[in-house]
C-alpha cells in the first residue's frame, strides 16, 4: 500500500510571550532561538508531520507590530503556500486580533489553515498556556474533513476555542481565555477531540485562485466618542494631514451626541472623498444608523454602516480597501457585504 503524504506545517514566530524563557540570572524574560523549539517543547516530536520554522529577526513585541509586519507575514505565507498544509503564526496577544483581521483580507481565497496563537505565560514557565496552545494549533492546522482542510481560514486559537480571526477581540490581560468572538460562534471547541462547527466555517471553491494582497494604506484614524468630547478634540482628529479614512466609535447602535457642527464637517469630509465608517463601542450587537434620531445625521451625511464589525477588523478592512486604490463608491459597496466573514449584514 502506498503511504500517505506526510503533512507539513510552517510555524512563523513573530515574537510575543509564547517565545520567551526566563534568564536564570536576571530573571527577566528573553526570546529564545525558535529553531530550538523542539527542545523546549519535546511533545512536538510526537506529531507525524514535518514542522518547519521561520523567526522574525528581531522578534517583535506585538505592541510594535504594524501594517508592514502584516505584509511580511502575508508574503511568507504566499511564498510557502504550496509547500505546507497549514500555517501557525505565533504572535503577542495585544495586537493579535488586528493581525489576524488584516491577514484575513490580504489572503484572498485562502484554502489552508492559518492559525494565530500565543500565550499569557512564557513557554518556559511550568504553568504556561503556550504549550497547549501551540500543540493544538498545529493539530488544527493539519486536520482534515472530507479529505480537505477542516478550517481553511485565518483563525485565532486560545484556551480551547478556535475563532474566526476577524471576529475576535482581546478581552483579558489576566486570564488564559484572552480572546472572545462576541458576534460570531466559535469555529471549534477543543476538548478530548477537535469538535469543529463546520456550518460556521467558510469554505472557498477549489477553482478560486489564491492571491496575496500586500498594498495597505495606513492613512486612517479612529475617533472615539465620549460624553463631553470637545470640538477641539474632534478637529484634531479629522483635520489630520492626508487623512483618507476615519473610523468613528459611537455609542450603542451607532449614535453620537447631536452636534450640527460635527454633522456638517463630516458631510464635507465625505464630499471630498474621505471614507467614514461607523462602528459601535459595544462588544456585542450592531450599528443600526437611523434607528435613533442621534444617528440620522450620520446616515444622511453618507457615513458607512459598520454593522457588527469589530474595530480591529474595521481598521484592517479600511487599510486593505484604501490600498486597492479604488473609488469611494467601490469601498462603500465593499463595506456593505462580508469579504471574508467579518460582518453580519442586518436590516438590508
Would you please indicate which residues are annotated as catalytic (active-site) residues? 17
Distance of CA 245 to the CA centre of its chain: 19
As to burial, measured by CB atoms within 10 angstroms (0-12 exposed, 13-18 middle, 19+ buried), residue 243 is middle
Beta strands in the chain (DSSP E): 7-13, 20-22, 29-31, 49-55, 86-90, 107-108, 114-117, 144-145, 148-149, 154-158, 161-164, 169-170, 179-180, 188-190, 194-196, 211-212, 220-224, 245-250, 275-280, 304-305
User: What does the alpha-carbon distance between residue 254 and residue 244 come to, in Å, rounded to a whole number?
Assistant: 21
For strands 7-13 and 245-250, give the pairing.
unpaired
Cell triple for 213 = 494582497
User: What does the alpha-carbon distance between residue 115 and residue 141 come to, in Å, rounded to a whole number?
Assistant: 7
123 in Cβ contact with 37 (< 8 Å): no
Inter-helix orientation angle 96-106/67-80, to 10°: 50
Distance of CA 182 to the CA centre of its chain: 14
* Phi/psi at 160 (5° precision): 75, 10
179 in Cβ contact with 310 (< 8 Å): no
Amino acid at each position: 500500500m502506498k503511504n500517505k503524504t506526510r503533512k507539513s506545517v510552517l510555524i512563523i514566530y513573530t515574537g510575543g510571550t509564547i517565545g520567551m524563557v526566563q534568564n536564570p540570572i536576571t530573571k527577566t524574560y528573553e526570546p529564545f532561538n525558535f529553531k530550538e523549539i523542539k527542545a523546549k517543547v519535546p511533545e512536538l516530536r510526537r506529531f507525524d508531520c514535518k514542522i518547519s520554522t521561520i523567526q522574525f529577526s528581531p522578534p517583535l513585541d506585538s505592541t510594535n507590530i504594524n501594517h508592514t509586519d502584516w505584509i511580511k507575514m502575508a508574503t511568507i505565507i504566499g511564498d510557502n503556500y504550496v509547500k505546507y498544509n497549514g500555517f501557525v503564526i505565533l504572535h503577542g496577544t495585544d495586537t493579535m486580533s488586528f493581525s489576524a483581521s488584516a491577514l484575513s483580507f490580504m489572503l484572498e481565497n485562502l484554502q489552508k489553515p492559518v492559525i494565530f496563537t500565543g500565550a499569557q505565560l512564557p513557554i518556559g514557565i511550568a504553568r504556561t498556556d503556550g504549550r497547549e496552545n501551540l500543540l493544538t494549533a498545529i493539530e488544527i492546522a493539519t486536520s482534515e474533513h472530507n479529505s480537505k482542510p477542516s478550517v481553511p481560514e485565518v483563525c485565532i486559537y486560545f484556551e480551547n476555542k478556535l475563532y474566526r480571526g476577524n471576529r475576535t477581540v482581546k478581552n483579558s490581560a489576566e486570564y488564559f481565555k484572552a480572546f472572545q468572538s462576541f458576534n460570531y460562534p466559535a469555529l471549534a471547541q477543543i476538548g478530548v477531540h477537535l469538535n469543529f462547527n463546520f456550518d460556521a466555517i467558510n469554505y472557498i471553491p477549489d477553482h478560486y485562485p489564491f492571491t496575496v494582497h500586500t498594498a495597505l494604506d495606513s492613512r486612517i484614524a479612529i475617533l472615539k466618542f465620549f460624553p463631553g468630547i470637545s470640538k477641539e478634540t474632534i478637529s484634531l482628529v479629522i483635520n489630520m494631514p492626508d487623512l483618507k479614512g476615519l473610523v468613528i466609535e459611537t455609542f450603542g447602535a451607532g449614535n453620537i451626541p447631536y452636534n450640527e457642527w460635527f454633522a456638517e464637517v463630516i458631510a464635507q469630509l465625505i464630499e471630498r472623498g474621505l471614507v467614514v465608517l461607523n462602528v459601535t463601542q459595544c462588544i456585542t450587537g450592531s450599528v443600526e444608523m437611523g434607528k435613533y434620531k442621534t444617528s440620522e445625521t450620520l446616515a444622511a451625511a453618507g457615513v458607512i454602516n459598520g454593522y457588527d464589525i469589530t474595530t480591529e477588523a474595521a481598521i484592517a478592512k479600511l487599510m486593505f480597501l484604501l490600498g486597492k486604490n479604488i473609488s469611494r463608491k467601490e469601498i462603500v459597496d465593499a463595506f456593505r457585504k462580508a469579504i471574508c466573514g467579518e460582518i453580519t449584514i442586518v436590516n438590508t
